[in-house]
Amino acid sequence: MKGLFSSFIMISLLFGAGMIHATVHATAHAIEVVDVTGFHLNIKARPKRIVSLIPSLGELAAEILQEDLGRIVGVSEFTDFPPVLKDKPSVGSYARFSIEKVVSLKPDLVLGTKDGNSRDQILHLRELGLPVLVVSTETLIEVEESILLVAMALGLEDRGRAVRSQLKNGIANIKSRAKGRPGTKVLLQIGDQPLIVVGKKSFLHEALKTIGAENVYGGVDISYPRPSLEDVVARNPDVIVVLALSGDTGLFERMAKAWQRFPKMKAVTNARIKVVQGDTVLRPSLRLLEGLSLLEKAVYSK
Amino acid sequence: MNSKVVLRAYLLGLLSWALSLFLALKFGAVDELDVEVIFQLRMPRAILASAIGMGLAVAGAALQALFANPLCEPYTMGISSGSALGAVLGITLGLNWTFAGLTGTAFLGALCFASILYFLSLSIARENLTLLLAGVMLGFLGSSLVALWMAMADANGIQGAMFWLLGDLSRARVFGSSVAFVFVAVLSFAVWTQWRSLDALLMGEEGALALGISVTRVRRRIILLTSLLVGACVSAGGMIGFIGLVVPHFVRHLVGSLHFRLIPLAAIWGATALTLADVLARMLARPYEVPVGVVTALIGAPLFLWVMLKRRRIV
């Protein structure tokens, strides 16, 4: 049970589906934003007490606010980038944050994601009258749109457009590098005992496609399938990438070593099992570009 | 058992409950006292904790008498598994948006299992042990179906279910928890009105028959009432163990086994125990919340063992 539980914590830095239809009406006094859940928010023209419910949105808000980080008054646990956010009051884990803590921070804007945060908690905050902006970051396009949506809510639309095009250009660069590459078969592993890999519905599947690689579980129609070891051996990936989360890297090194039990697999024979620091890939903000390059290097450099 | 002892148990119980309610309103995830936090978050939680603690303790006391088995508790009869099954179905269908969504499907699951159990009790009414075994089997069936769902489902969805399965009172709302409290209080009162029959059951089926009580009819009635009670508690707060097993034993130890006083005292002490456990659940690892079911077992089990060692016997 414990293993299963920690796997959830690892996985659920990744979020579910949903397209973005956002509109904004700004006046001098207030901003009206419609988020991805269709919720109408009336936000003060320049929200000054912002609480982020998930590390990725803390990063994103900081990226948009630049030097003006005093406006962020609360973040979720494990928000560590930029480092100054580590000292902000914590509202607990994104999966089950403390509603009491959020309310007591008296926020004028709360940032959450559609499937990273639990839906009943988001609704609970809204019932209590808090303006909660929910974004979706399941696909690269949604990540790009979430940047603009958050920037609009912060009253910094121009800055949002700039950051968004920075991300767009970066991704376009990576895609152009990927052209003509051999479709290396990759197993992207995010947990073992039980073994958890990346399926078609995950945002990481798209990340693999972007760098030109082929996901061996790309045909499985859920986000994070838990296949049997036999099945992995049969699919025989060229490269195995273990995504490590901040903290105990030894754990992930052991996960990578465990594959040596199967010397006939191509990834083992060619010594192509890599551990990649996952924070940048798993947190869809501008640092995603860094993450995609790390992934690219792990799969394609010798 | 003289009336002074009983009176003292009532007074002490009511005082502890009042104290636990005070603590539940005073302490939480943050230190500063905010009127909105107290009325919108802490108060509904305290009401819900009281309701569930009361319901579980009363159901436990009634089931222990019904099956003349000290190990019976609200979860022995498998109804909670039905509730869990309903809850995971609700999560799969995306109904966990609201308090009512998850609670509603969980309650439907409990009702479903309770009716199966009730119909089983109609045909195997003659023997207590058979019915108990049937309940246990029903429980296994339900929990294995939940496990099957967990193995197949996408990991994202399991997370919500995990918190619920370990006992979670953080979903409490003012209206929802008040409804739960009234519902549980009415059902507990209905169980209490059966005190003569429950007492008679303690003498065994033949003894009860000698007193002119139809064991079959009493059994059906108690099963119906406790099923509704357990279904309501589990759907509102998840699987909170231990209260239903230990509180009735503790109260029996204080005032003896006669249900006229056992049931109301179990209700009061059950409410107190869970309200206190929830205060701890919120305080122990701020700003995280420890699932309240973990707290009840973590503190309850050693306490129970200690009392048992000290008194040599408790049941």
For residue A120, which residues of chain B lie inside 8 Å, CB to CB? Answer: 96-99, 101-102, 160, 171
> Is residue B268 left, alpha or beta, with left meaning phi > 0 and alpha meaning psi from -120 to 50?
alpha
pLDDT digits (tens, 9 = 90+) for B133-174: 888 898 899 989 988 888 777 666 676 677 778 888 888 888
User: How far is residue A186's CA from residue A197's CA, in Å, rounded to a whole number?
Assistant: 11
A184 touches chain B (CB under 8 A): no
Distance from CA of A165 to the nearest CA of B (A): 30
Q: Do A98 and B41 touch (CB under 8 A)?
A: no
Nearest to B155 among A8, A103, A123 (CB): A8
pLDDT attached to residue B269: 95
Tokens found for residue A144? 């790009």
Contact indicator for B58, B229 with CB cutoff of 8 Å: yes
In sequence order, what are the beta bridge partners of B268?
A: none
pLDDT attached to residue A246: 65
pLDDT per residue of chain A (302 residues) written in tens, 0 to 9: 334 444 433 333 333 333 344 455 555 567 888 888 888 888 877 899 999 999 999 999 999 998 889 999 999 988 888 899 999 999 998 888 999 999 999 999 999 998 788 888 898 899 899 999 999 988 888 999 999 999 999 999 999 999 999 999 999 999 999 888 888 999 999 877 788 899 988 888 999 999 999 999 999 988 888 888 899 999 999 999 998 876 667 888 888 888 999 988 999 999 899 988 888 887 888 888 999 999 999 999 86
User: How far is residue A151's CA from residue B255's CA, in Å, rounded to a whole number?
Assistant: 65
Q: Which residue of B has its CA nearest to A93?
A: B288
Q: Which residue of A has its CA nearest to B282?
A: A98
In sequence order, what are the beta bridge partners of A241?
A: A188, A274
In sequence order, what are the beta bridge partners of A25?
A: A32
Q: Do B96 and A96 touch (CB under 8 A)?
A: no
User: How far is residue B211's CA from residue B203's CA, in Å, rounded to a whole number?
Assistant: 10
- What does DSSP say about strands A214-215 and A185-191: parallel, antiparallel, or unpaired? parallel
pLDDT attached to residue A247: 62
Q: Do A92 and B30 touch (CB under 8 A)?
A: no
For residue B89, name the pLDDT band (cuts at 50, 70, 90).
confident
Distance from CA of A108 to the nearest CA of B (A): 15
ipTM over 0.90: no
**Cα–Cα distances in angstroms (integers) from residue B71 to residues A199, B66, B125, in the given order:** 45, 12, 21
Instruction: Please report the DSSP string for B247-272 in residue order.
Output: HHHHHHHHH-S-HHHHHHHHHHHHHH
In sequence order, what are the beta bridge partners of A74?
A: A51
For residue B173, which residues of chain A lie inside 8 Å, CB to CB? Answer: 124, 127
User: How far is residue A238's CA from residue A185's CA, in Å, rounded to a whole number?
Assistant: 5
For residue B22, name the pLDDT band (cuts at 50, 70, 90).
very high
**Counting Cβ atoms within 10 Å, is residue A58 exposed (0-12), middle (13-18) or buried (19+)?**
buried
Residue type, B294: V
In sequence order, what are the beta bridge partners of B68?
A: none
User: How far is residue B85's CA from residue B143's CA, in Å, rounded to a whole number?
Assistant: 7
Closest residue by Cα to residue A134 from A157, A148, A115, A152: A115
A92 touches chain B (CB under 8 A): yes
Contact indicator for A262, A279 with CB cutoff of 8 Å: no
Q: Do B97 and A5 touch (CB under 8 A)?
A: no
**Cα–Cα distances in angstroms (integers) from residue B271 to residues B28, B40, B54, B313, in the given order:** 18, 20, 5, 25
Contact indicator for B248, B60 with CB cutoff of 8 Å: yes
Q: Do B155 and A226 touch (CB under 8 A)?
A: yes
Q: Which residue of B has its CA nearest to A190?
A: B155
3-state SS, one letter per residue, for chain A: CHHHHHHHHHHCCCCCCCCCCCEEEECCCEEEEECCCCCEEEEECCCCCEEECCHHHHHHHHHHHCCCHHHEEEECCCCCCCHHHHHCCECCCCCCCCHHHHHHCCCCEEEEECCCCCHHHHHHHHHCCCCEEEECCCCHHHHHHHHHHHHHHCCCHHHHHHHHHHHHHHHHHHHHHHCCCCCCEEEEEEECCCCEECCCCCHHHHHHHHCCCEECCCCCCCCCCCCCHHHHHHHCCCEEEEEECCCCHHHHHHHHHHHHHCCCCHHHHCCCEEEEECHHHHCCCCCHHHHHHHHHHHHHCC
Q: Do B154 and A118 touch (CB under 8 A)?
A: no
User: How far is residue B139's CA from residue B222's CA, in Å, rounded to a whole number?
Assistant: 18
In sequence order, what are the beta bridge partners of A50?
A: A72, A109
- What does DSSP say about strands A109-113 and A132-135: parallel, antiparallel, or unpaired? parallel
What's the order of all strands across the beta sheet hosting A30-34? A23-26, A30-34, A40-44
User: How far is residue B105's CA from residue B83's CA, in Å, rounded to a whole number?
Assistant: 8
pLDDT attached to residue A218: 93
Collapsing DSSP to helix, strand or coil, B24 comes out as helix
pLDDT attached to residue B97: 54
Distance from CA of A302 to the nearest CA of B (A): 33
Collapsing DSSP to helix, strand or coil, B236 comes out as helix
A17 touches chain B (CB under 8 A): no
pLDDT at B99 over 70: no
Q: Do A104 and B34 touch (CB under 8 A)?
A: yes
Q: Which residue has the tokens 């919120």?
A: B282
Distance from CA of A88 to the nearest CA of B (A): 13
Nearest to A101 among B29, B158, B160 (CB): B29
- Give chain A's length: 302
Tokens found for residue A162? 């700039």
Contact indicator for B142, B110 with CB cutoff of 8 Å: no
**Cα–Cα distances in angstroms (integers) from residue B307 to residues A7, B300, B304, B312, B313, in the given order:** 38, 11, 5, 8, 8
pLDDT attached to residue A285: 82
Nearest to B160 among A11, A104, A118 (CB): A118
Nearest to B41 among A14, A92, A100 (CB): A100
Distance from CA of A209 to the nearest CA of B (A): 21
Report CA dihedral (A95, A100, A104, A107) to the nearest 10 degrees. 40
Q: DSSP code of B42?
A: I
pTM reported for the whole predicted model? 0.83
**Cα–Cα distances in angstroms (integers) from residue A281 to residues A145, A171, A285, B24, in the given order:** 17, 13, 9, 41
